[in-house]
Amino acid sequence: MSLPTPEPLNKKKSKNCIPANELLSWVEENVDTDGANIIKIRDHYLWSRGDVERHRVDVFERYEVEGEGEFCWTNKVGERSYFLHYHKAEKTITDRTTGRYVEKEKGFKLSGISKGSERIGKSFR
C-alpha cells in the first residue's frame, strides 16, 4: 500500500517537518495500516529543545458511514495520533505517545436506593 506524502499543519513551519522518507518509513514500521484506507499524514511541529524536535503526527483514515452508501464518507484520526521526538543529529524518531484514554463504563445508580428496589408511584418498595 502506498502512503500519501506527509504535509505540515502550518505552512509557515514546514521547514521544521520531519523529512518525508524518514517519517514514511516510521509510519510503515509502527502504525497498523492493515485494511485502512490512509488518505493523509499530517506532521505538526510543536517545539524543540536542544537537538530534539517535538512533533504531533496524525494519520487520517477514510471510512464510509454505516448505512449511508458509498457517497457518504468522512475522515477520522481515531487511534492514529502520535507524539514523536525527532533527533536531528542522529536522524531517529522516538514515539513518546502516552497511553490512550479509555472511558470506564459507569452504571446508572440512584443514590440511597438499593439495587433491587422497585419504584411505585413516588415511593420505593
Residue 87: the pLDDT is 92
- The answer to whether residue 7 scores a pLDDT higher than 60 is yes
Q: What is the pLDDT of residues 50-109, one digit of tens each?
A: 889 998 898 888 877 777 666 777 777 767 788 999 998 999 998 888 766 556 665 555
Q: Please compute the mean of the pLDDT values over residues 28-38 and round it to a whole number.
A: 81
What Cα–Cα distance (Å) separates residue 78 from each residue in 13, 16, 82, 107, 112?
25, 25, 11, 25, 39
Higher pLDDT, 8 or 82: 82
65: which 3 cell numbers? Answer: 458511514
- The answer to whether residue 2 scores a pLDDT higher than 70 is yes
CB atoms within 10 A of CB 84: 20
pTM exceeding the 0.75 threshold for the entire prediction: no
Percent of the chain whose predicted confidence (pLDDT) is above 70: 74
Residue 116: the pLDDT is 54
- The answer to whether residue 117 scores a pLDDT higher than 70 is no
Higher pLDDT, 107 or 29: 29
26: which 3 cell numbers? Answer: 516510521
